[in-house]
Amino acid sequence: MGALTGRTALVTGGSRGIGRAIAERLAADGATVAVHYGRSAAAADEVVEGIRAKGGTAFTVHAELGAEGDVATLWESFDRQVLEHATSTGLDILVNNAGVTPRGEIDETTAEAFEEAVAVNMRAPFFLTQQALKRLRDGGRIVNVSSGATRIALTDIIAYAMTKGAIDAFSLTLAKALGPRGITVNSVAPGIIDTDINASWLRGNEAAERSAAELSALGRVGRPEDVADVVAFLASDDARWVTGQVLDATGGSQL
Ligand code: NDP
């Protein structure tokens, strides 16, 4: 029996990067995992196949966040499939992880890039969670993936940082609203993690990798699993007395 046996989790953006590691870790802990994806259907299938190969339970859920009807599409797909994989309907763990990172200083940020970041990073988690509340069982968990950029001023991702600041306010406020139901709500704030989001400037660029590693007190760039393990803690019974918090998972960046 794993720590999450009998629980059902939904991980948005579970097809790649940090979300993929979270989906794999929650499944390894025994949860039935709904692996949400937007464009990467093949990658999401691969995550599910990998989980099943290790004896876990998972299924894919598709919705392009930010598109018309995104939240309804996602929940319709979840509701349609959940009973094929879990013993009851409903949800225990919601991880709002999917996100985009528009790059640019304030004078370089277009309205389109800004609006996409708001739609995917802010609006989607809000309304997805709103619709999750009727499915989420008492004692459940909500984990929102934020960013170290809410603590460390990084001028070239200013619009992104704003959306993640909003997520932290969301976690704080929702934690109070859902406390009476025993549901905890927390943010996890990663630092620089080696995923596709950073591929264009990080991968294969030794100088960039070195300076990214030097940001962390621990002297390396983060891995998706570094964040997934923190999310798994928050999703577990061990974190029952932690709510409304931002857990820094930046490897001690810019201390
Ligand atoms: P990746 O680019 O590796 O993966 C992003 C994931 O989000 C994919 O699964 C993607 O799904 C999904 N996604 C993005 N946009 C949409 C959309 N419009 N609709 C549906 N799904 C979407 O990113 P990371 O794993 O690095 O990032 C995950 C989270 O962690 C994000 O919230 C990010 O802001 C945060 N974060 C990341 C850091 C890092 O350094 N990597 C640092 C701090 C925070 P698909 O491909 O199927 O469309």
Average pLDDT score over the chain: 98
Question: What does the domain layout of the chain look like in residue ranges?
Answer: 8-249
- Three-state DSSP state, 55: coil
56 C-beta closer than 6 A to ligand 1: no
Ligand 1 atom closest to the CA of 190, numbered from 1: 43
251 C-beta closer than 6 A to ligand 1: no
Question: Is residue 5 within 8 Å of residue 30, measured between CB atoms?
Answer: yes
Please list the active-site residues.
160
**Tens of pLDDT, residues 89-111:** 999 999 999 999 999 999 999 99
pLDDT band at 1 (very low <50, low <70, confident <90, very high): confident
Q: Report how far Cα 181 is from the mean position of its chain's Cα atoms.
A: 22
**Tens of pLDDT, residues 107-117:** 999 999 999 99
215 C-beta closer than 6 A to ligand 1: no
Residues 220 and 57: their CA atoms lie apart, in Å, by 33
Pairing of β 136-145 and β 246-249: unpaired
ipTM score assigned to the predicted complex: 0.99
Q: List the CATH code of the domain at 8-249.
A: 3.40.50.720
Strand partners, 55: none
